[in-house]
Chain A
């Protein structure tokens, strides 16, 4: 199936630092989504992006839909301990109802 390359695979940062992670694809996506998963729980949707070039914020989170429609990034500003978890990007290729493709995830660990 379609692959999304998500990087970095893991991060270990100091509390208060900014964090950046990204996803790239070999094909064009119509939608980019970013999720966070806590241990033993289902992923929770953080940000949804629908248009090329779109920049959207949700509190300390900011995500952008790349102009080429083949990439997206997620930034977390001023990280705190509860930011720990796995962050997934997901993309949707087609129109209404098409399946989502997920990246392998970025594991975020924060030093307090």
Chain B
């Protein structure tokens, strides 16, 4: 089945540790996105990539890093510099003509 897959569904991290969230898509989409969602809040853009080996900062990029070495993959690293990392993280990829975005199931990150 075609789709966008995030893993893991739930992730626990100790303070001060970096952690990487996986996002894979087999939809042949050029654009990929990472969003953060806090309880009761909307989606805030962390990073986005329109093409392999290129990415841009979104509105809240501080404390995060990404890579786009393959079209199918856009991993997000939450670094120790992110002061409040506990949140629901959503990955999306761009649809036909990249005017639509389709989301994965999300990863809930909790810092313990």
A residues contacting B by CB (< 8 A) are 1, 6, 30-31, 33, 35, 40-45, 48, 50, 88, 90, 92, 96-105, 107
Which residues on A sit within 8 Å (CB–CB) of B43? 43, 88, 102
Number of residues on chain B facing chain A (CB within 8 A): 32
Which residues on B sit within 8 Å (CB–CB) of A43? 43, 90, 103
Residue in A31, A33, A105 whose CB lies within 8 Å of B42: A105
Which residues on A sit within 8 Å (CB–CB) of B58? 1, 99
B94 touches A97 (CB 8 A): yes
B42, B90, B94, B106: residue with the most chain A Cβ atoms closer than 10 Å: B42
In the complex the two chains form, what is the Cα distance from A3 to B110 in whole Å? 28
In the complex the two chains form, what is the Cα distance from A45 to B90 in whole Å? 14
Residue B84 interfacial (CB < 8 Å): no
In the complex the two chains form, what is the Cα distance from A81 to B101 in whole Å? 26
B99, closest chain A residue (CB): A31
